[in-house]
């Protein structure tokens, strides 16, 4: 996929989520749990059917450590983001920038790391394993990121509105967040020679991202309902998300 199209999609999906909240407000946030249920199931499906097999395809020793490291990194990031990745909204009216700083920084770190392994899809490497990049014909990794970022953007903009943040500032922060995954992608593409000449660095980074995906997706599935119970609609969405992941992967 062309660089500009990848960047456009990554930025556009975040801004689309923010704009929907701005214009529709509660009508869109009411559907957030359903969006999260589908995206969580899709992410878990892509991780199990596509990303984990690709990570282990190089038969790299101790690669599982990096998967666990990604799980731990995401756990730490969510301590500071307050669970926005799962649709949690802890609004504080007239909150200062100090309140939002750790949330935004953690989300930006998460997005930047996700963007790094996207370089393989941007560059379109056919002989992926020999270069440490992961092969993906159907752009399933990109799709999973897009489906994940959309509800995050909705949650983040909802938090801004409920905290009475000025809209100019809210959209400025949203734009900063939207640029992080493209920045990670750009860095990986620009320094592709470095990644290709230093063993399987990109495969290790992807393993970390896989661990992050596993943490996010499983937490979403367990928390799709405050009572930790699935109703029929959410169950069907989870099954649908997993099935679509199977078709894409």
pLDDT digits over 118-147, tens only? 876 655 543 344 444 444 445 889 999 999
pLDDT at 95 (0 to 100)? 65
Token digits for 73?
A: 């990194």
Output the pTM of the full model. 0.85
Question: Which tens digit of pLDDT belongs to each residue from 175-216?
Answer: 999 999 999 999 988 888 887 776 678 889 999 999 999 999
- Average the pLDDT over 209-227 and give the result: 81
Distance of CA 64 to the CA centre of its chain: 20
For 127, counting Cβ atoms within 10 Å of its Cβ (0-12 exposed, 13-18 middle, 19+ buried), the class is exposed
Top pLDDT among 68 and 22 is at 68
Return the percentage of the chain with pLDDT > 70, whole number.
84
Task: Kindly report the number of other CB atoms within 10 A of residue 95's CB atom.
Answer: 17
226 — pLDDT class (breaks 50, 70, 90): low
More confident residue, 76 or 223: 76
Average pLDDT, the chain: 83
133 versus 155: the higher-pLDDT residue is 155
The b-or-e profile of 11-31 (16+ CB within 10 A means b, else e) is: bebbbebbebbbeeeeebbee
- For residue 137, what pLDDT is reported? 44
pLDDT at residue 199, rounded to an integer: 61
The whole-number average pLDDT for the span 67-81 is 93
Residue 99 burial (CB count, 10 A)? 16
């Amino acid at each position: 996929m062309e660089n500009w199209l990848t960047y456009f999609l990554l930025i556009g999906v975040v801004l689309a989520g923010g704009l929907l909240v701005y214009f529709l407000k509660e009508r869109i946030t009411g559907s957030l749990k359903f969006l999260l249920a589908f995206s969580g199931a899709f992410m878990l499906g892509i991780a199990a059917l596509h990303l984990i097999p690709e990570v282990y395809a190089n038969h790299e020793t101790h690669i599982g450590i990096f998967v666990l490291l990604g799980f731990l990194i995401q756990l730490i990031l969510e301590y500071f983001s307050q669970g926005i990745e799962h649709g949690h909204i802890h609004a504080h009216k007239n909150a200062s920038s100090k309140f939002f700083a750790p949330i935004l920084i953690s989300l930006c770190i998460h997005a930047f790391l996700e963007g790094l392994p996207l370089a393989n899809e941007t560059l379109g490497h056919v002989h992926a394993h020999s270069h440490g990049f992961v092969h993906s014909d159907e752009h399933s990794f990109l799709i999973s990121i897009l489906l994940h970022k959309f509800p995050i953007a909705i949650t983040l903009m909802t938090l801004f509105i409920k905290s009475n943040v000025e809209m100019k500032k809210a959209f400025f922060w949203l734009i900063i967040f939207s640029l992080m995954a493209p920045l990670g992608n750009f860095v990986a593409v620009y320094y592709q020679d470095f990644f290709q000449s230093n063993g399987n660095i990109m495969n290790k980074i992807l393993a970390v991202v896989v661990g992050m995906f596993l943490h996010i997706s499983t937490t979403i599935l367990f928390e799709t309902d405050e009572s930790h119970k699935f109703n029929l609609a959410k169950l069907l969405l989870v099954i649908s998300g997993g099935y679509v992941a199977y078709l894409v992967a």
